Amino acid sequence: MDLSFSPEELAFRDEVRAFLASALPAETRRRVLESQEVSKEDTLRWQQALYKRGWGGPNWPTEFGGTGWDPVRQYIFEEESAAAGAPRLLPFGLKMVGPVIMRFGNAAQQRRFLPRILSGEDWWAQGYSEPGSGSDLASVKTRAERRGDHYLVNGQKTWITLAQYANWIFCLVRTNPAAKPQAGISFLLIDMRTPGVTVRPITLLDGSQEVNEVWLEDVEVPLDNRVGEENGGWTYAKFLLGHERTNIAGIGASKRELSRLKRIASEERKDGRPLLEDPGFAARVAQVECDLMALEITNLRVLSAEVERRAPGSEASLLKIKGTEIQQALSELMMQAVGPWALPSRRDRSTASAAGPGYAGPLAATYLNLRKTSIYGGSNEIQKNIIAQTILGL
C-alpha cells in the first residue's frame, strides 16, 4: 500500500499551510498549542474565516456549500489545522446535525439551516443525554406531545456541551410512549430562545463550565422542525452517532499532543537526564505512537465510506474506543513528564506562583477533562458490545 501523497495532494497541503499561516490569529494559535481555554470568539472567528475562504464545510459535499474534498484532502486539512493550533471546528453543527439534515431533512430545512451552520451564524448543541439515559438512548423520557401545528416538549437534558453559547439544539424526544423504546422517538430541532428553555451550568472539577443541564418546560416546537418521520428518530440518531464517534477520535490533535509530549520529555531534568531516555517511559510513548498510526489508517477507511454516502459502521466504534484511549494515555504521560508543576484547577493556576514552565499549568485540567471521553458518545463498553455483535457476530 502506497501511503505517500501525490504531487497534487502535496500542493494542496502547501495551500492549507499557507492559509493557516496567514489567517489563523497568533493569540488563538498560542491558546490552542498551550492547551488553554479557547473562547467562543476564537471559535466563531475561525469558522467565519474558513467560510470566507470557501472551506466552511471541510467534510460537506459541494451541493450543500461544502468543499467536496476527498478523504485524503479532508485528512490533510484536519491534520495541518491541528498541527498549526487552529481551534477545533464545532462538531455539533458540522459533523452531527448537518449530515443528518443533508441525508434526512427536507429541502426547506436544508435551505434554512445548512448555510447558517457553515457561516457560524448558528451554534448548535446536542440534546441526547438525560439523567437516566446516557449510553442507553432508547430510554429517553423527554416528551413531545403533538398539539395541532406544533409539539409541546417537556423534559430535561444533561451534560450538554457548550449549551451556554448555543442558539439551537437538536433533541431526541419521545413522541409515542406506547411504542417499544426505539420506535417511539423523534428528532426535533429546537430554537433555544423559545420560552420554556432554561440552561443551567454544571461546574467541573477545574472550575470551568463546559457542560450544562437544559430544561424544557412547555416548549412549543413547530412540526416543520421535525427531521424525517415522526417516531423515526432512532434511525437518524444512529446515523448521527456514527459521525460523532468518528469525530471523537481526534487524530490530528493527538498527533500534535504526541509531538508536544516528546518535546517536553526531551528536556533535561534536575538529574541531567531527559525522561524520554528512560526505557520504560520511552516504551509507553512508542506504544501510543504505534496505536495512533494504526488509528489513522482506520480513519481513512471511514472517510472513504462517507464519501460514498455510506454511514460510518462498526469502524466508527473502533475509532471512538482507540481514539479516546490514546487521548487519555497522552494526558497521563504528559502529567508524568511534568510532575508536580501541573496544577489541578484554574484557581490554583491563577493564584500560585509556580516555578515550573508556563505550559505546565493547564495540564492537570486537561487530564481531568479527558476522563469523560471514554464515556460520552456512547461509552467504550457499549462500543465493544457493538463490535462484538456486528463484526464478531457474538
Catalytic residue check, 244: yes
Q: Grid coordinates representing 61?
A: 459535499
What does residue 237 show for φ and ψ, rounded to 5 degrees? -65, -45
Q: Are 185 and 237 in contact (CB under 8 A)?
A: yes
Q: Which one of 78, 80, 130, 244 is the catalytic residue?
A: 244
What dihedral angle (degrees, nearest 10) is formed by the CA atoms of 344, 348, 350, 354? -90
Distances (CA, A) of 66 to 46, 62, 98, 242, 300: 16, 5, 11, 20, 19
Q: Grid coordinates representing 51?
A: 467560510
d(CA 393, CA 386): 10
The rounded Cα 175 to chain-centroid distance in angstroms is: 28
What does residue 202 show for φ and ψ, rounded to 5 degrees? -115, 120
Eight-state DSSP code of residue 241: H
Burial class (CB in 10 A: 0-12, 13-18, 19+), 237: buried
Q: Are 288 and 333 in contact (CB under 8 A)?
A: yes
d(CA 179, CA 172): 15
d(CA 304, CA 70): 8
Q: Are 330 and 261 in contact (CB under 8 A)?
A: yes
d(CA 73, CA 6): 11
d(CA 263, CA 10): 26
Helix (H, G, I), strand (E, B) or coil at 85: coil
Strand partners, 172: 187
Catalytic positions are 244
